[in-house]
Amino acid sequence: MAEPIILAALGLDAALGWPCALYRLAGHPVGWFAWLIDAAERHWNGPERRFGTRRLLGLLTVLLLVGLAGGTAWVVQSLLLRACGAFGWAVAALLAWPAIAQRSLFDHVRAVADALDGDDLPAARAAVGAIVGRDTAALDERGVARAAIESLAESFCDGVAAPVFWLLLLGLPGVWTYKAINTADSLIGHREERWRAFGWAAARADDLLNLVPARLSALLICLAGGGWRILRRDAGKHASPNAGWPEAAMAGALDLRLAGPIAYDGVMHDKPWIGDGARAPSSDDIRRALRLYLGACALLWLFAGGAEWAL
């Protein structure tokens, strides 16, 4: 049997998340990536530069991230873990643990449901604003609940399924390269004029790395709660080649309509609806989505454990 690196990392995250004391002491690796991306964007993405130059500098930013994250992880995996001998797998699990966000995602989404149940719409908007990029100031209860459920579905891929997939496939270099590129996509991989050129490479790299994990996450959601018909019909309606898969699976499993018109930076985007549900989502639906998420995570644990055993 192979060493249970992934199961140990999943177990650490499920039990502890990323402790506040540790965050205050050292931050989080994603925050380190964000600092580098922000610095590159401020210095290299000035409007005075030509479109092609900014695209090239955005590609250079992605390559620097890959070299820093993947290269450092490769050195650690090749040298430090070998030196640890029989305890190498435990060290690898510790180093992979921060890349997985299953506990953090659950806690953030549950906070939205708690605020709605307490009839505190401003707190619910603030809670959902911590996990989505859309404008939240004008959202009503239904809009807040819809945003929370969509984020849960999409982030199940980005924060859980994809890190597990790349950790299984390429070890520490794979998972930390993925996290670096996914962070870049979330910060600069947008279509607005400011980021269209500079963030192009980050967005395309993230699309490529999520092709398999997005479909895996949709499969796990449907295995946990159904929704196959909506998945087949609506997975391709999203502007992203990947985000529509887990969102369509979640919409089908919960019998809700997700996506639809969304405002970003004051601009309304008329996105198509995903799903058939006629009723408006509520805090009860957020809690149903969380139970479905836990079932999908449990199936992922089985998948990861089986894959590690087979390898």
CB 234 within 8 A of CB 274: yes
Q: What is the spatial distance between Cα 96 and Cα 94, in angstroms, rounded to a whole number?
A: 6
* Among candidate residues 33, 19, 49, the one with its CA nearest the CA of residue 186: 33
Q: What is the spatial distance between Cα 102 and Cα 109, in angstroms, rounded to a whole number?
A: 11
For CA atoms 282, 287, 292, 293, the dihedral sign is positive
> What six digits make up the tokens of 311?
């390898």
* Among candidate residues 189, 178, 195, the one with its CA nearest the CA of residue 46: 195
Task: Give the three-state DSSP class for 259.
Answer: strand
Return per-residue pLDDT of the chain as tens, 311 residues: 467 999 999 999 999 999 989 888 989 999 999 999 999 999 999 999 999 999 999 999 999 999 999 999 999 998 877 788 778 889 999 999 999 999 999 999 999 999 999 999 999 999 999 998 777 888 899 999 999 999 999 999 999 999 999 999 999 999 999 999 999 999 999 888 899 999 999 999 999 999 999 999 999 999 999 999 999 999 999 888 999 999 999 999 999 999 877 766 666 667 889 998 778 899 999 999 999 999 999 999 999 999 988 87
For tokens 């998420």, the residue is 293
Residue 79 CA, distance from chain mean position: 29
> What six digits make up the tokens of 188?
């600069």
Polymer length in residues for the chain: 311
Q: What is the spatial distance between Cα 58 and Cα 199, in angstroms, rounded to a whole number?
A: 6
Tell me phi and psi for residue 98, to 5 degrees.
-65, -15
Q: Where are the beta strands (DSSP E) in the chain?
A: 258-259, 262-264, 267-269, 273-274
Q: What is the spatial distance between Cα 203 and Cα 213, in angstroms, rounded to a whole number?
A: 16
- pTM as predicted: 0.94
User: Looking at residue 136, what is its pLDDT?
Assistant: 84
Q: What is the spatial distance between Cα 297 and Cα 12, in angstroms, rounded to a whole number?
A: 14
Q: What is the spatial distance between Cα 225 and Cα 242, in angstroms, rounded to a whole number?
A: 20
CB 304 within 8 A of CB 6: yes
Distant-in-sequence, close-in-space partners of 119: CB < 8 Å, separation ≥ 6: none
Q: What is the spatial distance between Cα 228 and Cα 233, in angstroms, rounded to a whole number?
A: 9
* Among candidate residues 45, 99, 91, the one with its CA nearest the CA of residue 69: 99
* Among candidate residues 5, 3, 295, 2, the one with its CA nearest the CA of residue 172: 5
> What six digits make up the tokens of 161?
């399924």
Q: Given the DSSP bridges, would you call strands 258-259 and 267-269 parallel, antiparallel or unpaired? A: unpaired
User: Looking at residue 1, what is its pLDDT?
Assistant: 41
Q: What is the spatial distance between Cα 243 and Cα 237, in angstroms, rounded to a whole number?
A: 10
DSSP 8-state code for residue 281: P
